[in-house]
A and B are shown apart, each in its own frame.
Chain A
């Protein structure tokens, strides 16, 4: 306990924290994000309805406008869609899925990319060459196409009965496997720089093993840019998920993500029930915007050249 408070203070007092406190954009966007994370995580407790539980839906209540509009029902704050799903609940649950896909795919990509980048950068030689060629091949494809491809292959490879349940995993895998290259390249680059630094040579002369050098010495020093990429990638992953859903290869309509909600709502664009598309679209845009703003700030804050 005696060290905890000073540690807390030094974290609060650090340059990053200071620049965070000074940046209104960073504070606002992280508050927004926090709110959305909480809404997503606590959706089962907060949401008025569980839109994934079809037994809760009653078609009698379908297409109700938002509560404040004429004909609105106060039980459904943002109205309901054609399946009588509460739009607010759908957004909360949809955000949950979007965020799960976003985070999981970013973590997958980051872990894979960082590991491979570290190995390639530190070991060099054949390992590096092979890894970088794979990266080149992957980079030879626009990411959305790679995601489409992986998605297609995975779907084809999975048994039919598993598909509804596996949509989430397929999405995570296809987005994650598409994005690791960026991490790998960055980490490889940084690793190659760090590897030549004298503290690494020092560690080697002091008998520290290769794995320990990679994990304990290099890794902490290359994580800064990884964090930046991860943040920006989170936004991209959420968007990619939405786009895949729009193209019809994302989450099924029974478990809609934000992208699926927009895709479904898109069909009702002219029918007057604007709330089924506008609210999810705004939620998605705000989510991604907040993530991007935070990523922007983080990149500037972590860039030593800008200090």
Chain B
């Protein structure tokens, strides 16, 4: 679409952080001498989203992946760093602003039940951006456009009159997609779009998204906790842990030979459809409290390879042999054991 653009990346993120102040009221802190409590949801992350490709972010709940999506859409203001959409700095732009740029990036949310206003009819839900961004002038135009979009995502034109509660979860997610497509966006941010859906419906939605990407040449930022889904969707993959990207690179390389113990842990825990896999050693520990993250490498309490360096020094992302980057002292020191699991049939 935007072939005139020089840059191969549609979006670039540089050292973006988001800190939330979750302190108690001032007086309490003063009296009980408690420090300010800062939750660092996103910690100086940088990445580029290649045009027309899918950039996937994977991690467990609380790792900051959803915050990233909201930062990009302007729903949160970054505490530091820059976000550029093509050549425009949108770091501190409010959501929906500037309209000319924002209409080129849209978002699909996780919860198909919460992301559609239950009191609105489908026509109004999907028509909202058409009016806000001035895409359609008349009511008739809106109706026509809505019906077209509904068909495009596999629903009926007649569904425009219905309310969200008359649809199943999968159908609602189609509505969300239709709404996002109204502005013909070039970048679609998908925040766990299928995690609330049943498997058989998930495959429909994932297929639909792939089809739409092929049809419109959109770029995706695809956020998920499910490595198997990411395997299917991603071109480039970033693994997040406690607000940081611990590994990023082309999907194939990461899946073939993950260069971070956490990535490996995630791979281990993907349930395999081969019977009896549970006998393998389960991983210990849980994700620590992000308010007081561990020192050094935040993964060290759960890492079988952790040593003194890991406990004190925070590792940097470094390019590994295969071209992916990972932030791991063990990998730096070559202490990372070789990786064998690759479940390709």
Contacts and interface: CB of A to CB of B under 8 A. Distances in A.
- Report if A and B touch in the complex (beta carbons < 8 A): yes
Contacts of B129: 206-207
A204 B102 contact: no
Contacts of B116: 199, 202
B153 to A, nearest CB: 16
Contacts of A202: 107, 109, 115-116, 176, 179
Given A204-B75, A204-B95, A220 B119 contact: yes
B96 A201 contact: no
B133 to A, nearest CB: 6
B114 interface: yes
Majority SS of interface residues in chain A?
Answer: helix
Interface in B7-59: none
Contact of B118 (A206, A207, A221): A221
Contacts of B92: none
A206 B109 contact: no
A34 to B, nearest CB: 27
Contacts of B115: 197-199, 201-202
Contacts of A220: 117, 119
B96 A206 contact: yes
A58 interface: no
Contacts of B111: 198
Contacts of B106: 205-206
A217 interface: yes
Interface residues of B, number: 27
B102 to A, nearest CB: 6
Nearest to A221: B119
Given A201-B109, A203-B128, A221 B117 contact: yes
B323 interface: no
Given A198-B110, A198-B111, A205 B102 contact: yes
A205 B74 contact: yes
Interface in A176-218: 197-199, 201-208, 217
B99 to A, nearest CB: 6
B312 to A, nearest CB: 37
A206 B99 contact: no
Interface in B73-114: 73-75, 95-97, 99, 102-103, 106-107, 109-111, 114
A278 B73 CA distance: 66
Interface string B200-233: 0000000000000000000000000000000000
A166 to B, nearest CB: 40
Interface string B125-162: 00011001100000000000000000000000000000
A204 B96 contact: yes
Nearest to A3: B161
Contact of A199 (B73, B97, B114, B133): B114
A208 B109 contact: no
B109 to A, nearest CB: 4
B21 to A, nearest CB: 12
A302 to B, nearest CB: 14
B75 A207 contact: no
Contacts of A198: 109-111, 114-115
A225 to B, nearest CB: 14
Contacts of B103: 207
Interface of B: 70, 73-75, 95-97, 99, 102-103, 106-107, 109-111, 114-119, 128-129, 132-133, 176, 179
Given A199-B116, A201-B75, 10 more contacts: A201-B70, A202-B176, A203-B128, A205-B74, A205-B96, A206-B129, A207-B97, A207-B132, A207-B133, A208-B128
13 contacts: A197-B114, A197-B115, A199-B118, A201-B70, A202-B107, A202-B115, A202-B116, A202-B176, A205-B95, A205-B106, A205-B107, A206-B133, A207-B99
Interface of A: 197-199, 201-208, 217, 220-221
